[in-house]
């Protein structure tokens, strides 16, 4: 079932996985400290910042950031 999910969402839907290069990992530190985010939230924030993306999440931690966020319902 997991393989089917990955195939449907990543391969067939044309989604792209974005990441930071090892040399860009310092960009995770500032949002972690400034907005009191844990590592995974700070990482997502840094990727959104780098690519000028809107964060879409149910996680209310992003509400206290400069970028803010939208819930999945808000973008549908």
Q: Give the pLDDT confidence of 22-59 residue by residue, as tens digits.
A: 999 999 999 999 999 999 999 999 999 999 999 999 99
Is 9 part of a structural domain of the chain? no
Is 14 part of a structural domain of the chain? no
Is 13 part of a structural domain of the chain? no
Question: Quick one: pLDDT at residue 16?
Answer: 85
State the chain's mean pLDDT as an integer. Answer: 94
Alpha-carbon gap, residue 11 to 38, rounded angstroms: 29
> Domain range spanning residue 43?
20-75
Number of domains in the chain: 1
Question: Quick one: pLDDT at residue 67?
Answer: 95
Is 54 part of a structural domain of the chain? yes
Higher confidence at residue 21 or residue 6?
21
Question: Quick one: pLDDT at residue 37?
Answer: 97
């Amino acid at each position: 079932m997991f393989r089917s999910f990955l195939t449907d969402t990543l391969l067939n839907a044309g989604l792209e996985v974005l990441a930071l290069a090892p040399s860009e990992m310092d960009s995770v530190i500032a949002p972690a400290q400034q907005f009191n985010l844990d590592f995974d939230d700070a990482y997502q924030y840094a990727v959104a910042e780098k690519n000028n993306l809107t964060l879409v999440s149910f996680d209310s931690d992003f509400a206290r950031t400069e970028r803010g966020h939208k819930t999945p319902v808000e973008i549908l």
